[in-house]
């Protein structure tokens, strides 16, 4: 099961589209964290057993200091359309589930559909 918290830099439209495939996906808007600072988002994910999904380097920076949980999926893809982000999650769902289940990995950097994923400790 993928419990994902999508950062505010990911459109609420993506959250809505992903819910049909991944019912445990929420956006920061839905949990009262819109415009919250990154530490508050990280803390909410920790307290509520979510993996944070972000395009931003700040949440992974917090994770590199504080460790994990929460796990972080760091999208390093550059600008993508909302549909491309949705497709990325649908296409790589099994990879993301495997990452979340791995107790030794805390951050997964995702570059593009064709580039390999890079887990970092």
Task: Give residue-wise pLDDT tens across range 55-94.
Answer: 999 999 999 999 999 999 999 998 889 999 999 999 999 9
Q: Over range 102-118, report the average pLDDT.
A: 78
Residues with Cβ within 8 Å of 68's Cβ and at least 6 positions away in sequence, in order, are 106, 107
pTM (predicted TM-score): 0.89
Q: Give one DSSP letter per residue of 7-70, joined into a string.
A: -TTS-HHHHHHHHTT-TTEEEGGGGT-TT--HHHHHHHHHHHT-EEEES-SHHHHHHHHH--SS
Residue pair 33/9 in contact (Cβ under 8 Å)? The answer is no
Strand 25-27 with 72-75, pairing: unpaired
């Amino acid at each position: 099961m993928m419990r994902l918290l999508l950062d505010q830099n990911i459109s609420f439209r993506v959250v809505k589209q992903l819910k049909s495939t991944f019912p445990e996906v929420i956006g920061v808007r839905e949990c009262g964290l819109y415009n919250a600072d990154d530490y508050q988002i990280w803390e909410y994910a920790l307290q509520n057993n979510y993996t944070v999904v972000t395009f931003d380097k700040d949440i992974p920076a917090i994770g590199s200091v504080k460790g994990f949980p929460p796990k972080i999926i760091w999208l390093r893809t550059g600008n993508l359309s909302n549909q491309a982000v949705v497709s990325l999650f649908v296409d790589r769902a099994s990879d993301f589930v495997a990452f979340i289940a791995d107790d030794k990995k805390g951050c997964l950097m995702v570059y593009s559909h064709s580039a390999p994923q890079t887990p970092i400790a």
